Every structure is written in C-alpha cells, then in structure tokens.
Amino acid sequence: MTRLRFDMPDRSCIFTGLALPVQDDSSTAFSKRGCMHIKSKRAVIAEALEDWRSRGLLDPVTAQRLQDDLEQGKVHYSFNAFIITAGIICLCFAAMTFVAANWEEMDRLLRLALVMAALWAAWGAALWAGLRGLHWWHEGLMLLGCGMFGAGIMLVSQIYHIQANAADAVWLWGLGSLLAAVLARGTMTLALTIGLFALWHVMQIDIAARAHDLNLVYLVWWLAGAGLAWWQRNRLAGHLSVLALCLWLLSALATVQSPHAAALMLLAATVSVMSGLLASFSGRRFLHGFEAPILAYAALVLGACAFYLTLSHGAHDRPMPGDDMAHGTLWSVLALLAAPSVVLALLARVRAWTLAYDLAACAGLGIILLLAHVMPRIPLLSEALLLAPFIWITRMGWRLDQRSLRAIGMAGFILALLVVYDKTVGSLIGTSGFYLGAGLILLSGAWVATRLGLKGKGGS
C-alpha cells in the first residue's frame, strides 16, 4: 500500500492507499498565495489539493478521496462553536454573580435548589446533545454543568457560613471538574480543570513565599491534567498544561531562597526535556505530534534562563558554600538533570537517528552553558554564550521546518544583542570589539557551511 504523508509542524496528516503524482514545482503556485502562512494546516492542504486538481496534476476522483480523508473524523472549531462557548461562559458568570449577590429576597434553600436544578439540567442537556451528535453543544453544556458545580460550592459555603480558605473551594471545584473530564472526555471540561488547578496554585503563592517552599502538591494535579490531555489527544489542554507548568516554574524561581541555583537546575532540566522531544521526533512520536509546540515552549524557557543567568551575575555571581545549597551538591544535581541529554545524544549516534546532530548539539550547548555559569566568571564569555542558544534554536527551526522556533531564535538573538549593548560590556569600545568578534565568527561559519554545501549537494 502506498502512503503519502504530509509532515506538518504540529501534526502529521496521513493519506493511505493513494499515490499522488506531484512534480518538483507543484507546490509553487499555492505557496505564493497571499495568506497561506496564517491559514490552518487543513486549509493549506485543501488549497494544495485544489491547486493540483485544477492544473491537471491530480484527477478529480483522487482529489475527492484525499479531501474526504482530510475531513474524516475531524471536528473543527467554527464561528458557531465560538458563539456557543461565549454564551456558556456568560451563563456560568451569571450563576456565580447570582450567588455572590446573596439576594435576600429569595429563600436560601430555594436558591440552592435552583442552582442544583440548573446543574443537573445542564448535564442532562449535555447527554441529549451528545446522543444527537451536536459536538459543540455537548462540549458547552458539559462546561456549563461544571460551572454550576462551582456556583453550588460557593452557595453552600455562603448558606452554612463555612469559613474556609477560598483556595480550598477552588481545589474542590477543580477536583469535580477533573472527575467530569475523566468520565465525559470533554475538551472544554479538561481545559477548565487545568485552569482551576493553576488558579489554586496561584492562590497558594503567598503562603509558599513565606515558607520559602515549593508547592509540589500542585505537580500531582498538573500531571493528572497533562496525562488526560495526552490520553485524549487534546491539543488545547496540552497547550494549557504547558503554560500552567511554566507558571509554576516562574513562581518557583520567585519564591525559592536561591534563584540562581534554581535557574541553573531549570536550564539543565530544560535541555534534557528538549533532548527527549528531539528523540521523540526521530522515532515514534510519543506525544502524538505535540512535540513541536512543547519544543517551542522549552526554547522560550531556555532563552529566559540564559538571559537571567547572564544578567544576574552582579547580585548572584556564583553560588557560594554559604548558600542554602552547597557547591558540591549543586554540581551533583546539575549533572543528574543534564545526564539524560548526554545519554540520548550517545544513543542517537549509536542508532543513527535522523536528529542525531541536533541531539548532540543540544547536549553540548547545555553543558557549555552550565559550565559557563557555574565556574568562575570569564569576561565576555557569558555574553557571547547568550547569543549561542538563539543561533542554535534558529538553526533547529530550519532543520525541523518549525516557524515558531525560527521566530523565537531570531527574536531572542536580536534581544540578546540589545542586552549586550545596554548591560554587559560596559564601554562602547568593548561593545564594538564584542560585536566585531561575534560578526566575524558567524560569517566564518556561514562561509564554511556554504563551501560544504557547494562541494556536497550544491546547496547553500
């Protein structure tokens, strides 16, 4: 059976059982159309199919079969779905503000009965919509049911004067939504669950800051949400899970006693995560094609760590033995966190994985950055290495055909140049020398790559 595969940045769209006669320049016409880069992948592929059919490269029967395969089993978010979602959110806010108003003209038990009736009516309507195949009504009504559950928690606390921490109510609401997400497998329900647990964590930040401790319990609930997102192949929940984890990491850096050491550990862990994602790219995609978005988020975290470590050398030049973490212990932790990237790089070389070069570059860059920020400071070395991650991210974006990585790398490189100019070198003549050296090194590397390309495949 012949397989035609369109590899996209986030997801692969596979058409089986069909062979497509495509010439070398067949993608030229539709690639030059004005708004291709802001369209969805489905729209780009559908446009390409229509272009090939209109130019006689694809017969109408095959084009229709490919179009049917593209549309099969996909539920697309439309304007009508947006209106349903917006209306449901308004109803949820209406219920919560109704409870918060504490309307004395209505008996408390009557208010409780009204909210409970609305809760069960929402779930009953969600069941009816699901049986009728009304996907977005089904999703929206499940979200309404979870919203009514939260309003019910607020109302019970209000009626019986339960003096508890507001974060506990949010946690209970998130727990109920998590149960609903497991049983009903709802996209919006799972998104609400992830958001509620993130809100619960934010409400705990002040307590954690006074104790100088991490909210490690949150990671348990985060793993539950992220695991459900992976199981359901829910891309929206996947994005929210990564953003929620980034929020936790930022709060951790803000509350720990040694932020410099925490940034070093985060950098080492991020390098290992990026290596794992590249390894998944090389073989079976264990994250169901979600490696690319997570790789972009990881690149942002890596860049943020590089900026922080470079700019914080004045206040926290290097961790000293008097800190809460001994110097030797820090070395051990960093080695443990960075070890997976080295192991994956060696494994990629032995097994000849397609991204063995990127895995080796990832491990090498991570080790160099860690050594530069742990060892005694060498003038201009940290500043020069601030440019290196963004050059590598940009290069990786071209190798993997990921526009997001290219954008992050180029934007980070420009920002790093501005930071070097404003903060790190200190004098205009020193800044001039730094830029001269960086420019010559980059152009030399580009010239070597050009010559190698001409000797090899004739590319640039």
Least confident of 90-104, 283-297, 367-381: 367-381
Whole-model pTM: value is: 0.74
With tokens 């526009």, the residue in question is 403
DSSP 3-state percent helix, strand, coil across the chain (nearest 5): 75, 0, 25
Strands 12-16 and 3-7 turn out to be: antiparallel
* pLDDT tens string 68-112: 776 665 666 678 888 988 999 999 888 888 888 877 777 878 888
Supply the DSSP symbol for 138. Answer: H
Q: What percent of the chain has pLDDT over 70?
A: 75
* Cβ atoms of 155 and 117 closer than 8 Å: no
145 domain-assigned? no
Does 350 reside within a domain?
yes
Residue ending a domain, among 17, 50, 71, is 71
Contacts (Cβ under 8 Å, ≥6 apart) of 66: 15, 18, 20, 49, 58
Write out pLDDT tens, residues 414-424. Answer: 888 777 766 55
Q: Is residue 203 one of the residues assigned to a domain?
A: no
Would residue 237 count as lying in a domain?
no
Predicted pLDDT of residue 145: 93
Given a cut of 80, is residue 233 above it in pLDDT?
yes
Please tell me which residue, 411 or 65, carries the higher pLDDT value. 411
| pLDDT tens, position by position, 32-42 | 444 444 566 67
**Residue 316: pLDDT over 60:** no
Q: Looking at the domain assignment, is residue 279 inside a domain?
A: yes
Would you say residue 243 has pLDDT above 90? yes
Mean pLDDT of 132-137: 88
201 HSE (CA, 13 A, CB side): 26
* Residue 391, domain member (yes or no): yes
Residue 297 belongs to domain spanning = 260-424
Instruction: Find the helix or strand (DSSP H, E) in which 4 lies.
Output: strand 3-7
Out of 4-18, 169-183, 354-368, pick the least confident. Answer: 4-18
Tens-digit pLDDT profile for residues 48-73: 878 888 888 878 888 778 777 766 65
Percent of the chain, pLDDT > 90?
Answer: 21
CB neighbour burial string for 353-363, b if at least 16 within 10 angstroms, e if fewer: bebbbbbbbbb
Domain count, the chain: 2
CB atoms closer than 10 angstroms to residue 248? 20
pLDDT at 211 over 60: no
Q: Quick check: is 281 in a domain? A: yes
Is residue 147 in some structural domain? no
Query: Of 21, 51, 71, which residue is a domain's last?
Result: 71
The reported pLDDT for the residue numbered 212 is 55
CA proximity to 229, closest of 218, 220, 221, 238: 238
Of 14, 41, 71, the residue at which a domain comes to its end is: 71
**Residue 129 and residue 137 in contact, taking contact as beta carbons nearer than 8 Å:** yes
Average pLDDT value for residue range 383-388? 80
How confident is the model over 10-19, as pLDDT tens digits?
A: 333 434 334 4
- Residue 334 neighbours by CB distance under 10 Å: 22
401: pLDDT strictly greater than 80: yes
Asked if the model's pLDDT at residue 365 lies above 80, the reply is: yes
Average pLDDT of span 166-177: 90
Quote the tokens at residue 420: 């070097």
